[in-house]
Amino acid sequence: MQIINKVMAWARRKSPWIIHFNSGACNACDIEVLASLTPRYDIERFGIQLKGSPRHADVLICSGPVTMQQRDRIITIYEQMTEPKFVVAVGTCACSAGVFEGCYCVEGGIDTAIPVDMYVPGCPARPEAIIDGVVKLLNTIK
Amino acid sequence: MANLMSVGTAIFNILVYPGFLFLGVLSLVYEYADRIIYARLQNRVGPPWYQPVADLIKLLTKETVIPSEANNRLFRSIPTFAFAATAASFLYIPVWNNRSLLPFDGDLIVVMYFLTIPTLTFFLAGWYSSSLFAEIGGIRAMMQLFAYEVPFYMSLLGPAALAGTWSISGVSQFYREHPLLILINIPSLAVAIFSAQGKLERVPFDAPDAETEVVGGTFTEYSGRFLAMFRMMLGAEMVVVAALIAAVFSPFFIGGNAALGLFLFLIKVLAVVFLLALMRAALARFRLDQMVSFCWKVLTPVSLAQILLDLIIKGAL
Ligand code: SF4
């Protein structure tokens, strides 16, 4: 049993597939997420692949504060993902609503809608920071 | 006793070599080869060697969701059909020597039909998942089928016509005896490589699962072990198609020595996979209408001309 759990955890650490969702960011964080997917940063080294469908993904990368409009959608997408799943909040806005704090249409950071496993601050967060965040998150899987 | 032995051999052939297990291992190895070649062509390091295994184990241990709208029984059984058809076609392809496990005159046609089944299952999988994206992906897969299938078949029929046999083992035997005649078939080889990309739904013909357009395409609703099954099947299909192209178009065979023959087989398949990965790295996605007109206006005439040429040469020989 022990060894099966070890192998499972190893496979999860080595093969995180991500899906990217913008819940109301100013688009700068999205561009940085896209930049980190380019061959220059080569995240396939860690086994990371971008997937289109939430059913295939293990890690949900969210950028931006949760707006009232996007709240239902982010919850739907989170629920469509299959267990085990992880959420990474990219950017100051995603961590705490940042500069949009108190805006009439903003509810707050990502953690007001869904549970978050890793926060990557920065306005916008650099690709290195995003990759660092995801890899650190993976290393917590035991 | 002899009866029992032959049953045992048959079971061994189906389950281990050259059946499920051998094909499964090959599909993982060549998936890795494809990914690392693609990565090196993009000037990056690429995934570590255990990547396909990690992906497989992860998918097998993930939760599997079956949408309540989907047809439960078909949703579950379609991946098995796809894999079974691919594995069955591998039995007719020569591996370590130039004779397959069960050769008979006409197995070239049978293999082509077997290789059509996966595409049909993609359509059914998309249709029965009752998701809009999956349905569009399935319809696109079907539409591509009508475009690449004809040139793919005809590109293999040209060399077979020259060899004068419909059996894959017979074709490779013929080209082993007349290695120079293979040079005539080079246009056909190009057509086969191009249309194989359509069959495998890879760039530039990956409109059915273009993630920027239709989310996950046919497989949008698939998760967990069913997705793992489909991915294994895609890897196996790549191996089967590459082995088929290698068997029909390459004259290099060494009879007798099994280890050397197997090594040669792996190298030949690797060469075809390299060409496929090169195309994937060099080209961008075709629109569906561009793809259909390319297949019908360029690839089909070329392979028709090839068949004509082969028949003329056969007459002259
Ligand atoms: S953190 Fe900065 S860059 Fe990112 S979405 Fe917020 S304001 Fe834009």
Please choose, from the candidates A37, A8, A57, the residue with its C-alpha nearest in 3D space to the C-alpha of residue B227: A57
What was the pLDDT predicted at B307?
85
| Residue A21 or B176, more confident | A21
Mean pLDDT lowest among A10-14, B147-151, B204-208, B302-306? B204-208
Q: Is the pLDDT of residue A110 over 60?
A: yes
Cross-chain residue pair B46–A45, CB shorter than 8 Å: yes
Residue B1 to residue A21: CA distance in whole angstroms: 64
CATH code of the domain covering residue A31 = 3.40.50.12280
Query: What confidence tier does B196 reach under pLDDT thresholds 50, 70, 90?
Result: confident
Residue B26 to residue B269: CA distance in whole angstroms: 10
**Distance from the A24 Cα atom to the nearest Cα atom in chain B, whole angstroms:** 20
The boundaries of the domain holding residue A34 are 19-139
The answer to whether residue A51 sits within a structural domain is yes
Percent of chain A with pLDDT over 90: 0
pTM of the full structure: 0.85
Query: What confidence tier does B211 reach under pLDDT thresholds 50, 70, 90?
Result: low
| Residue A89 or B181, more confident | A89
Residue B180 to residue B198: CA distance in whole angstroms: 29
Look at chain A and report how many structural domains it folds into: 1
Convert the pLDDT of each residue in A42-58 to its tens digit.
888 888 888 888 888 88
The answer to whether residue A24 sits within a structural domain is yes
DSSP states of B206-230 as a string? Answer: -GGG-HHHHTTGGGTT--HHHHHHH
Interface check for B212 against chain A (CB to CB < 8 A): the answer is: yes
The answer to whether residue A4 sits within a structural domain is no
Query: What confidence tier does B85 reach under pLDDT thresholds 50, 70, 90?
Result: confident
Cross-chain residue pair A55–B221, CB shorter than 8 Å: yes
Query: What confidence tier does B127 reach under pLDDT thresholds 50, 70, 90?
Result: confident
- Mean pLDDT across chain B, nearest whole number? 82
Contact B143, B295 (CB under 8 A): no
What was the pLDDT predicted at B181?
75
The answer to whether residue A71 sits within a structural domain is yes
Size of interface A-B (CB pairs under 8 A): 92
**Distance from the B56 Cα atom to the nearest Cα atom in chain A, whole angstroms:** 8
SS3 assignment for B243-288? HHHHHHHCCCCCCCCHHHHHHHHHHHHHHHHHHHHHHHHHCCCCCH
For B294, how many CA atoms within 13 A lie in the half-sphere containing its CB? 15
Cross-chain residue pair B216–A51, CB shorter than 8 Å: yes
The answer to whether residue A121 sits within a structural domain is yes
Residue A48 to residue B277: CA distance in whole angstroms: 19
The answer to whether residue A6 sits within a structural domain is no
Cβ-based burial of A122 (10 A; exposed 0-12, middle 13-18, buried ≥19): middle
Convert the pLDDT of each residue in B40-54 to its tens digit.
888 888 888 888 888
DSSP states of B68-83 as a string? Answer: TTS-HHHHHHHHHHHH
The ipTM value here is: 0.84
The answer to whether residue A23 sits within a structural domain is yes
The answer to whether residue A3 sits within a structural domain is no
User: Mean pLDDT across the stretch B130-155?
Assistant: 85
Q: Is the pLDDT of residue B1 over 60?
A: no
DSSP element (H, E) containing A50 = strand A49-50
For B126, how many CA atoms within 13 A lie in the half-sphere containing its CB? 23
Is there an atom of ligand 1 within 6 Å of A29 CB?
Answer: yes
Query: What confidence tier does B2 reach under pLDDT thresholds 50, 70, 90?
Result: low
User: Mean pLDDT across the stretch B64-90?
Assistant: 82
Is there an atom of ligand 1 within 6 Å of A130 CB?
Answer: no
